[in-house]
Amino acid sequence: MVDAAFVSELRERYGIEFKNLRLLDEAFTHSSYANEHPELDLRDNERLEFLGDAVLELTVSEFLYKRYPDWPEGELTRLRAASVCTRSFSLFSREAHFDKYIRLGKGEEQSGARKRHTLQEDTFEAFNGALYLDQGKDAVVKFLQQVVFPKIAAGEFSAASDHKTFLQEYLQKDGPVDIRYDVLDEEGPAHERQFAVAVVVDGQRLAKGEGRSKKMAEQDAAKKALASLKAKAH
């Protein structure tokens, strides 16, 4: 059975109480543990992981769809891909202490599997699959509102490098345009150089950006250009 301390922790931190504790057990049973204890006739968490993966895909998609009503599909897809991935799920898993409670076989334990990000990700998916089966989608959403959505909304998973792409897509909606980034200025010593860059679209300067590298200044310019274009469109 899953650790009693974990059952309390779920209740106290997230207000979650499983009706069917066997689902919670299953979610925290790694195949290596099930294989090592054939006498217990345990199910490992892989089927729940299969389901949980899809549960997370939908709940995160719906969150993004509703939170960003003006974003085009391309931006939604990019942020979904950055939010629904090994890096983020393993992080959530550790924050919720799931890595502490997953039951591993001895060999896996010794090989350091508990610290493996893919294993932590799998546990996070399996937990959400179990919660979905036990209590439905709304319970999953309530849990994600505590551990996932605030981080997405805070921009933790938006790659900064996306502004140039966003600007390009925005401008090219109605056909090809010429987008150019011109370096306006470059000053300071090598270790603290500052760049100033202008983004020029079809010969017209849209915005200026600054940064500690040419790339960062370009991103800054693209971000400002997008903001001003969107402000004008409204």
* Binding-site residues from annotation for Mg(2+): 49, 122, 125
CA distance 133 to 140: 10
CA distances (Å), 89 to each of 71, 204, 232, in order? 24, 43, 37
Give the closest residue to 26 by CA, choosing from 106, 125, 114, 115: 125
- Considering the complex, what minimum distance in angstroms separates the CB of residue 97 from a copy of itself? 24
How far is Cα of residue 209 from the mean position of the Cα atoms in its chain? 28
The set of residues, in sequence order, having a beta carbon less than 8 Å from that of 165 and lying 6+ positions away, is: 78
Active-site residue, 57 included:
no
- In this complex, which beta carbon is closest to a copy of itself, that of residue 173 or of residue 234? 173
- Considering the complex, what minimum distance in angstroms separates the CB of residue 28 from a copy of itself? 16
- Considering the complex, what minimum distance in angstroms separates the CB of residue 56 from a copy of itself? 9
- In this complex, which beta carbon is closest to a copy of itself, that of residue 128 or of residue 219? 128
- List residues near a copy of itself by CB under 8 A: 35, 46-47, 49-51, 53-55, 57-58, 60-62, 65, 71-73, 76-77, 80, 137, 173-174
- In this complex, which beta carbon is closest to a copy of itself, that of residue 53 or of residue 218? 53
Give the closest residue to 219 by CA, choosing from 197, 193, 187: 197
- Considering the complex, what minimum distance in angstroms separates the CB of residue 54 from a copy of itself? 4
Give the gyration radius of the chain's Cα atoms.
23
Q: Which of 125, 134, 162, 220 is catalytic?
A: 125
Active-site residue, 25 included:
no
- In this complex, which beta carbon is closest to a copy of itself, that of residue 18 or of residue 195? 18
DSSP letter, residue 111: T
Which pair of structure tokens corresponds to residue 188? 């300071």
Q: Binding site: what residues are annotated?
A: 49, 122, 125
Q: Which residues are identified as catalytic?
A: 53, 125
